[in-house]
Structure 1
Amino acid sequence: MQPCCVFGSCILRFCVCVNWSSSEKIDGINMEMDASLVYERQVHGKVKQRVFLGSKKAAENETTLRALGITAVVNAAPSQVAPQLTERAYLEVDLYDSPIYKDGKVFFDPRIRQGFDSTIIFIDEVFSKGETGSVLVHCAGGISRSASLVLAWLVASCGMSLKAAWEHVLSVRPIIGPNAGFIFALMDLEKELTGKTTIKKPLSMHQRGIITLKDEEISKQ
């Protein structure tokens, strides 16, 4: 893994070289379908902090959680995945899973941004003490809701552009596909933080996945 950027004594590493196939397993864990490593940070070369993006299957399997060293969980589908009663830090984010369609236009539910903010604060607090720990962000399939939360965190807390965050997470978990409502909310977050956006607006309410802008299109904003 190559370091992407350095913040003081904290080396931030994104696992862009990690790309497990759907058939490859580590300790019995399907690393593409169940849980995918999307972020790793080393503090002073000793402490490792990781974020995994995963599915209901990973969240409900105690063996998987222990194997991955999960110390905190973000559940983006509490109506579909029951909370696991353990000593782990736990956050429920009940995201509205369908875009709002009105007068021929697609909008996002404002509660999505609230979910982004809650997740960003939660993960940052887990890592704030500089201790070893891993966070699992999951929904039912690890495709739309939880992927959107991870993208929001990478943009807000890691300083990545939405384009870079999307390309990175897609490279380690090819099955992700945020819906149109989440895409609009992610665009809104990036625009608020940076004054510009690096992806295109969804073409329809049925769109799954992000279409990125070319560098020259971004530079014109």
Structure 2
Amino acid sequence: MEYNDHTLNRVRHYLKNADIQALDRNDDLPEGYSRFFTVPITPKDSYNEVYPGIIIANGDYARNKEELKRIGITHVVNCAKGLKYGQFDTSPSYFKDAGIRFLGIQANDVITFDMSKHFEKAANFIDEALAKGGKVFVHCNKGISRSASIVLAFLMIKRGMNFMTAVRTVRSKREVLPNDGFLKQLAILNYTLYEAHNAY
């Protein structure tokens, strides 16, 4: 599959320098930041609303149905479904009594994992939730890579954003950094959606 190297490199540069640019304007380094690592080990917050009705989160609240209901969640996308360390074995039946709809994605946060096969289904799930006035909680383990990739794909597929616009939208609300394999898959999606027709 094709993608535009220039687009991918622009996105990489933006993501890897977003924090350093912010730090250069401040003398005090927030906890988790350093001048040598441009992205914090974990985001400052457990969850952030990155787009109206869409929250990206770590796994802290993934099993806490009461807390999810308290913040108005109607739909959950678990991007780290499974039984291994860093995964969360939730299911539709787990959330049924809370009236929360569920989508599970068994994704590993490694560059060789094909996250793109889940883009369309997850985008449809999120879009349908928002169309009904719902609020979607998209999580993985840290809320940095897998969940961010799914939300970026949604914004590109369903909201007409190109790759960079989607990244800027999400990154303005939460410290995310999808792994490089996922970034390439999103660059391919961007090429298919927005660039291929201009390539000839």
TM, length-normalised to structure 1: 0.62
Query: What does 1:45-124 align with in structure 2 at a 5 Å threshold?
Result: 50-79=53-82, 80-83=87-90, 85-87=94-96, 88-100=100-112, 109=113, 111-124=114-127
Rounded Cα–Cα distance in structure 2 between residues aligned with 1:77 and 1:220: 36
Residue 112 of structure 1 deviates from its aligned partner by 1.5
Query: What does 1:1-221 align with in structure 2 at a 5 Å threshold?
Result: 32-40=44-52, 50-79=53-82, 80-83=87-90, 85-87=94-96, 88-100=100-112, 109=113, 111-128=114-131, 131-174=132-175, 176-195=176-195
The answer for unaligned runs of 5 or more in structure 2 is 1-29, 32-42
Q: Contact (CA 8 Å) 1:151, 1:166: kept in 2 or not?
A: yes
The answer for unaligned runs of 5 or more in structure 1 is 1-21, 24-30, 41-49, 101-108, 197-218
Q: Hey, which of these two has a bigger chunk of helix by percent?
A: 2
Residue 118 of structure 1 deviates from its aligned partner by 1.6
**Deviations 1:103-160 (CA, angstroms, capped at 9, x unpaired):** xxxxxx4x321111121111122234xx321001100110100011001101111111
Rounded Cα–Cα distance in structure 2 between residues aligned with 1:57 and 1:117: 26
Moved more, 132-141 or 53-62: 53-62
TM, length-normalised to structure 2: 0.68
Residue 220 of structure 1 deviates from its aligned partner by 9.8
Moved more, 115-124 or 79-88: 79-88
Q: Amino acid of the residue matched to residue 86 of structure 1?
A: F
SS of the residue aligned with 2:135? strand
SS of the residue aligned with 1:69? coil
Rounded Cα–Cα distance in structure 1 between residues aligned with 2:199 and 2:125: 35
Between the two structures, name the one with larger relative contact order (CA 8 Å, sep ≥ 6).
2
CA RMSD of the aligned region, Å?
A: 2.4
**Deviations 1:68-91 (CA, angstroms, capped at 9, x unpaired):** 210010000012112161221101
Q: Contact (CA 8 Å) 2:81, 2:104: kept in 1 or not?
A: yes
Sequence identity percentage: 33
Q: Contact (CA 8 Å) 1:59, 1:138: kept in 2 or not?
A: yes
Rounded Cα–Cα distance in structure 2 between residues aligned with 1:62 and 1:32: 22
Rounded Cα–Cα distance in structure 2 between residues aligned with 1:69 and 1:56: 17
Q: Contact (CA 8 Å) 1:95, 1:115: kept in 2 or not?
A: no
**Deviations 1:145-202 (CA, angstroms, capped at 9, x unpaired):** 001100110111111111011112111102x110011001000111111126xxxxxx
